[in-house]
Amino acid sequence: MLRCLALLLFAFSAFAQKPSFTVGWSVYAGWTPYHYMNKSGLLRKWADKYGITIQVKRFDYAPSLDAFVAKNIDACAMTNMEALDMPAASGVPTTAILIGDYSNGNDAILARGGVQLKDLAGKKMLLVQKTVSEYLFDRAMTINGMKDQIKKVRAINTSDSDIATAFLADSGASAVVTWKPMVSQIAKQKGIASLFDSSKIPGEILDLTVVRTDVLNRPDGAGRKFAMALAGAWYEMLGQMSNDKVLAAIAEGSQDTLASYKEQLVTTKMFYKPDEAAAFGASGDMKQKMALVRQFCFDHGLLGANTKSVDEVAIRYPDGSVQGKPDRVRLVFDIGYMQMAAQGKL
């Protein structure tokens, strides 16, 4: 009897010795590779190397953020803006371990009937409010010296799943701010022109893979192994993305065609090489861009009603410098894993 129990305990502990982690992703050109990484067994190979199990779950974007904040998943693909205003601002310390890409035209402001940015005051504009779409619009108006007109535009909060049909069907709406593939779908129609897109603010809309800091710092070290396995698999995956067969398989992950996926990649600045990504993460440029993003988040109340100052949700950069109060660091950019990938140490 006792031996039986011991055996059971042993079996149980052996099972428990293999820590399990979950990474969540949603459909976006820069994140869809997760689908293929999982399907092709690439991720399993790397997980086995580090003696862990990694599960991949596909979500809609907003629920993936909710799941990450609720600590149901350990890692998640999200933009720099949401990493700051969802987990970090909700007291869930978050570390960005992979800088996958930045939007280089994926997000755009489109208008019909020859309407220009300066004509938008008083006109109807569809967008998903409080997201990078609003950030893009804010930046477009600021860069063109029309900051005072931002509030005069009649913004209509429109769900992203309906925004393309809503804009095309309602000719009373003058402009729309959205992202690909909806942008491509809308731009195909006659009489629609692009007024501004994210290629004019390169590096401000970043697509990251983030891990909860407490997972990363697990005392048994499995969190670090998880991050290393993710980084290893990620860059092996990106290395194969010059192959059309692989691209088609990736596109399949979002029920997309190869042609459409390739078109989206044109306006996505992928960091295919880990050293490029790490160099971008270490640059002072990124700090300046994050300063714009965090100020936007604060101005729009996205850091929470109780957050009295933009410095209360602080960001730490790879060189150790901190934006905000040093005792309130909630978002960390860690380029260590990308560097290890670059040096082939994974």
Place of tokens 């969802």: 86
Q: Is 159 in the site for other proteins (CB under 8 A)?
A: yes
| 181 preceded by a cis bond (ω within 30 of 0) | yes
Q: Which among 151-159, 175-183, 218-226, 252-260 is the span making contact with other proteins, rule CB under 8 A?
A: 151-159
Q: Which helix (H) or strand (E) holds 79?
A: strand 75-79
Cα separation, 94 vs 333, whole angstroms: 9
Distances (CA, A) of 14 to 6, 220, 235: 12, 15, 30
Q: What backbone torsions phi and psi does residue 326 show, to the nearest 5 degrees? A: -60, -25
Sign of CA dihedral 111, 113, 115, 119: negative
Q: Which of 285, 263, 259, 279 is nearest to 105 (CA)?
A: 263
Least spacing, CB of residue 104 vs other proteins, in Å: 24
Give the shortest CB-91-to-other proteins separation in angstroms: 3
Rule CB under 8 A: is residue 86 a binding residue for other proteins? yes
User: Quick one: which of 239, 143, 257, 119 has its CA closest to 200?
Assistant: 143
Q: Please report whether residue 107 would count as binding other proteins according to CB under 8 A.
A: no
Based on the shown chain and the rule CB under 8 A, indicate whether residue 62 belongs to the binding site for other proteins. Answer: yes
Residues 112-141 that bind other proteins (CB under 8 A): 126, 129-131
Min dist. Cβ of residue 302 to other proteins (A): 5
CB distance 205 to 135 below 8 Å: yes
- Give yes or no for residue 158 binding other proteins (CB under 8 A): yes
With binding defined as CB under 8 A, does residue 302 bind other proteins? yes
CA 150 to the chain's CA centroid: 25
CB of 95 to other proteins, least distance (A): 16
Nearest approach, Cβ of 168 to other proteins (angstroms)? 8
Which residue lies nearer to other proteins by CB, 17 or 165? 165
Position 85 contacts other proteins (CB under 8 A):
yes
- Which parts of 259-298 interact with other proteins (CB under 8 A)? none
Residue 170 or residue 319: which is nearer to other proteins going by CB?
170
Q: Are strands 107-112 and 94-103 parallel, antiparallel or unpaired?
A: unpaired
- Rounded Cα distance between 152 and 36, Å, is 44
Q: Which is nearer to other proteins, 288 or 295 (CB)?
A: 295
State yes or no: residue 67 binds other proteins (CB under 8 A).
no
Name the CA radius of gyration of the chain, rounded.
21
Say if CB 73 and CB 191 are below 8 A apart: no
66 binds other proteins (CB under 8 A): yes
Strand residue runs (E) in 180-321: 192-197, 206-212, 268-270, 314-316
Q: Give the binding range for other proteins (CB under 8 A) out of 6-14, 140-148, 166-174, 264-272.
A: 166-174
Among 60, 170, 285, 319, binds other proteins (CB under 8 A): 170
The one among 92, 216, 270, 346 contacting other proteins by CB under 8 A:
92
Q: Least CB distance from residue 210 to other proteins, whole Å? A: 16
Nearest to 292 by CA among 142, 170, 71: 142
Query: Are 232 and 123 within 8 A, CB to CB?
Result: no
Tell which one of 70, 187, 266, 291 touches other proteins (CB under 8 A): 70
* Structure token pair of residue 125: 């504009």
| Binding status of residue 83 toward other proteins by CB under 8 A | no
Residue 255 binds other proteins (CB under 8 A): no
Count of residues making up the chain: 346
Output the smallest distance, CB 290 to other proteins, in A. 17
Provide the 3-class DSSP secondary structure of residue 75: strand
Q: Closest approach of Cβ 9 to other proteins, in Å?
A: 29
Binding residues for other proteins, per CB under 8 A? 62, 66, 69-70, 85-86, 89-92, 126, 129-131, 151, 154-159, 162, 165-166, 169-170, 172-173, 300-306
